[in-house]
């Protein structure tokens, strides 16, 4: 099951990078990492895998090791 990040506003857009929708396989990890005004939602069934970018490949998250070890963030 994959999760996407949506702007937390009415009809908010799915967040993307380089034209690809950001996705991750753990809702809990997304909620831990992202504290801005976003909502974590199930990926729409219409979203094709080739149109997605896993969060771990985003340059701002490349320094994280997945799965996350919360002890490393204290």
Whole-prediction pTM value? 0.89
Which is higher by pLDDT, 53 or 71?
53
Residue 70: what pLDDT? 83
14 DSSP assignment: B
pLDDT category, 3, cuts 50, 70, 90? very high
pLDDT tens track for 12-67: 999 999 999 999 999 999 999 998 889 999 999 999 999 999 999 999 998 899 99
């Amino acid at each position: 099951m994959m999760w996407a990040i949506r702007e937390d506003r009415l009809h908010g857009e799915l967040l993307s990078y380089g034209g690809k929708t950001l996705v991750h396989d753990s809702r809990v990890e997304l909620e831990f990492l992202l504290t801005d005004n976003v909502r974590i939602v199930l990926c729409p069934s219409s979203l094709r895998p080739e149109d997605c970018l896993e969060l771990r490949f985003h340059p701002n998250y490349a320094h994280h090791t997945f799965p996350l070890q919360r002890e490393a963030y204290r």
